[in-house]
Amino acid sequence: MGVIVRRLEEDDVVENFDSKDEALNNYLKKHAWSNQQKISIAVTYIAVDESAPKTVLGYFTLATSAIPPSSFPKKHVRGLPAYDLPLILLARLGVDHRFEGKGLGRLLLREAFRISISVSEQVGCRCIITDAYRHKVSWYAKYGFIPLEGGGEDKTTQRMFLDIRTLKAALKA
Amino acid sequence: MPATGTRKAQRKNTRKPKFQADLAPVEDRMVRSLKEELQLSSNSDFMADAVALFGWAVRERKRGHKILSESTTGEREVLLLPRLERVAPAAVLPHVNITWNEKELESLMELTLAEAAQPTEALVRVMRS
């Protein structure tokens, strides 16, 4: 299986995608294209097989965000530059359940990392943030994501942080 | 003597970098066949043309343009090359607002101000692959 990761296109076949997670399925089928092309709030990248280059096997969605210094607790702000903290949001990552266990998630994550490094070098960005499902926290932690405090056990997701400097260090290691 | 030394230094400075590649037999056959088809006599000419073509493809994908072939009957086939897709992302991602609570922001700030964590083994492996 020769897998390629590329940007989502309008005529890609998303209808059959099934990650066994309704939210992830719905996003790809109903929102990914319009969010990317029409209202431009996120970009979705898909994994396809070379032999069926239109059928989505897995995907991830990225967007940028920033936190103004006024949002941070006062005790931390002192001494910091008065600029927004730029970051990349890994908003979605899902793999079709029929292709689980083939390393697709890892491949998608790698591409998300590569894009993040590229973005950080071109426009600046400090970290990657993702809201991971609680049962996926250890998977993200394996790749260096650190859980942020304050998530609350009642939430279905855990907010996690990965420093761009850590990513760059991994490239040089 | 100084003039000779200067000439030597100039020659050294204008020396072209060498490029050596290990080719599998099938790739070697392909290169030879392409050189014949394109009537290129030297590997240097072959490399120069290949680099020019690759450079053009990278520039086009960076601009978000697709690279495709069109048959005489209008059927189109888009070129998909994983390495080219890496430059395609058009770098600028859209912007969204995220909701944060105070504790999360505090935790984020602490991590941001701290030394970056060392990459995990899995992260190093994934970035190398």
At A71-102, the pLDDT tens digits run: 887 776 666 677 888 999 999 999 999 999 89
Domain ranges of chain B: 15-128
The CATH number of residue A106's host domain is: 3.40.630.30
**Any CB–CB contact under 8 A between A137 and chain B?**
no
For chain B, how many residues are written?
129
The pTM of this model reads 0.70
Contacts of B124 in chain A (CB under 8 A): 170, 173
Query: Domain range holding A156?
Result: 3-172
At A27-69, the pLDDT tens digits run: 999 999 988 887 778 999 999 998 888 999 999 999 999 988 8
Instruction: Tell me the one-letter amino acid at B92.
Output: V
Please spell the DSSP secondary structure of A42-97, one letter per residue: -EEEEEEETTBTTB-SEEEEEEEEEE-GGGS-HHHHTTS-SS-EEEEEEEEEEE-G
At B22-74, the pLDDT tens digits run: 889 999 999 999 999 999 989 999 999 999 999 999 888 877 777 888 888 88
For helices B121-128 and A164-172, the axis angle rounded to 10 degrees is 60
Interface with chain A: mutation pick from B112, B115, B128, highest number of A CBs within 10 Å? B112
Interface with chain A: mutation pick from B126, B128, B129, highest number of A CBs within 10 Å? B126
Residue of chain B whose Cα is closest to the Cα of A120: B91
Q: How many domains does chain A have?
A: 1
Please spell the DSSP secondary structure of chain B, one letter per residue: -HHHHHHHHHHHHHPPPP------HHHHHHHHHHHHHTT--SHHHHHHHHHHHHHHHHHHHHTT---EEE-TTS-EEE---HHHHHHTT-S---B------HHHHHHHHHHHHSPPPPPPHHHHHHHH-
